[in-house]
């Protein structure tokens, strides 16, 4: 479906979370700016993900949506919060809202904006399709990046290339190079991301340990990364891989430092997780592992990206918790299989 191209002057993009989903939406930002070079573009995002968004010339304003604050407020506090949000959005006089979240929370923001023209991607869920028009393009069954881009294509002709605009991270890259040198990392580096948003998406720690040993045998240094909550998984991997000396950055980097770290890597490995999509956006080779979710739909994107899907007959089930009460799909992917793909992909 193609909308008659209009000269929009003030556009609101809604993509609040999470890290991987925001990374997937960045090519749409690039295309939107190319299509409307003179328009004001505001991106509504949750505070913990704002740093990964680029500034000018792509985004004129990052509008921070404090979802967790809203959730903690009593009923009357929520009403006051939403009234203030409505006033702040109305003041900006948006003439187009693009909802790439497609959930109740994003549709609420879209309505509160006061903008009558609201479009979203083809998977508008939780009733969001009732207030925002879904755009079904030729990629409605394809990769999520292309589904988002179909929304921008509906507005006009966009470039064919897929570009991820990222913030400047040169200072953070230099910092991480220094830390790696202090840790004794020389030559090629493999970075593992053992955690994922769903426990069902995680590859077993023992498999990561086995993979780390295989890399070490080839003279490749190994580093672990992730959030502070992932420290337990990192410790398990290090113990299982002992006496191998694995560098551990778990819980020690912010998003931009993480970007600086992956840029030093020869290969990054993990499940369906945001940091791995960040590595792919930075142009780093990635191997992503898929069980309950679909690599065809949400695998890391680009010519340096590979994904391996489990051979489990129940996959992909798209369930956060295994219906069989045991994680049967991800363990089926062997460390040897992953290492073989990594060897071909490493720079």
- pLDDT (mean) for 104-112: 98
Quick: pLDDT tens for 154-204.
999 999 999 999 999 999 999 999 999 999 998 999 999 999 988 889 999
In the predicted model, is pLDDT for residue 264 greater than 90? yes
Tokens of 130: 């009732």
In the predicted model, is pLDDT for residue 114 greater than 80? yes
Quick: pLDDT tens for 219-257.
999 999 999 999 999 999 999 999 999 999 999 999 999
Count other Cβ atoms within 10 Å, centred on residue 226.
24
In the predicted model, is pLDDT for residue 324 greater than 80? no
User: CA distances (Å), 199 to each of 9, 106, 192, 194, 315, in order?
Assistant: 43, 25, 16, 10, 15
pTM over 0.85: yes
pLDDT of residue 4: 56
- Note whether 9 and 95 are within 8 A (CB): yes
Strand partners, 189: 221
Domain 170-345, classified CATH 3.30.70.380, yes or no: no
pLDDT of residue 326: 72
Domain range summary for the chain, segments of one domain joined by +? 10-153, 170-345
Task: State how far the Cα of 109 lies from the Cα of 89, in Å rounded to an integer.
Answer: 9
**326: phi then psi, degrees, rounded to nearest 5:** -150, 145
Contacts of 269 (CB under 8 A, 6+ apart): 190, 191, 192, 193, 211, 276, 286, 287, 288, 289, 338, 342
In the predicted model, is pLDDT for residue 143 greater than 80? yes
Min mean pLDDT across 38-42, 193-197, 336-340 is at 193-197
pLDDT of residue 198: 87
**122: phi then psi, degrees, rounded to nearest 5:** -70, -15
Quick: pLDDT tens for 49-63.
999 999 999 999 999
Q: Do domains 10-153 and 170-345 have the same CATH topology?
A: yes
10-153 maps to which CATH number? 3.40.50.2000
């Amino acid at each position: 479906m193609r909308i008659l191209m209009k000269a929009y002057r003030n556009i609101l993009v809604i993509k609040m979370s999470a890290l991987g989903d925001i990374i997937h939406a960045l090519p749409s930002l690039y295309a939107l700016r190319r299509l409307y070079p003179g328009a004001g573009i505001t991106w509504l995002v949750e505070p913990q993900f704002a740093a990964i968004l680029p500034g000018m010339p792509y985004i004129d304003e990052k509008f921070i949506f404090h979802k967790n604050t809203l959730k903690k407020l009593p009923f009357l506090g929520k009403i006051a919060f939403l009234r203030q949000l409505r006033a702040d959005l109305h003041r900006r006089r948006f003439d187009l809202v693009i909802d790439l979240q497609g959930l109740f929370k994003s549709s609420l923001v879209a309505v509160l904006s006061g903008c009558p023209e609201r479009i979203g991607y083809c998977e508008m869920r939780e009733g969001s399709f009732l207030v925002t028009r879904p755009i079904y393009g030729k990629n409605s069954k394809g990769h999520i990046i292309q589904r988002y881009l179909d929304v921008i294509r509906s507005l006009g002709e966009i470039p064919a290339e897929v570009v991820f605009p990222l913030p400047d991270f040169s200072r953070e890259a230099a910092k991480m190079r220094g830390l790696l040198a202090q840790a004794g990392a020389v030559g090629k580096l493999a970075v593992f991301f053992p955690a994922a948003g769903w426990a069902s998406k995680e590859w077993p720690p023992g498999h990561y340990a086995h993979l780390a040993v295989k890399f070490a045998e080839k003279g490749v240094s190994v580093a672990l990364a992730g959030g502070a909550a992932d420290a337990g998984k990192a410790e398990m991997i290090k113990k299982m891989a002992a006496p191998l000396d694995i560098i551990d950055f778990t819980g020690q980097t912010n998003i931009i430092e993480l970007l600086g770290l992956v840029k030093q890597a020869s290969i990054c490995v993990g499940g369906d997780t945001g940091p791995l999509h960040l590595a792919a956006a930075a142009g780093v080779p990635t191997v992503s592992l898929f069980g309950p979710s679909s690599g065809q739909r949400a695998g890391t994107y680009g010519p340096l990206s590979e994904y391996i899907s489990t051979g489990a007959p129940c996959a992909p089930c798209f369930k956060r918790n295994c219906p069989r009460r045991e994680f049967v799909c991800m363990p089926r992917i062997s460390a040897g299989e992953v290492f073989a793909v990594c060897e071909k992909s490493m720079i």
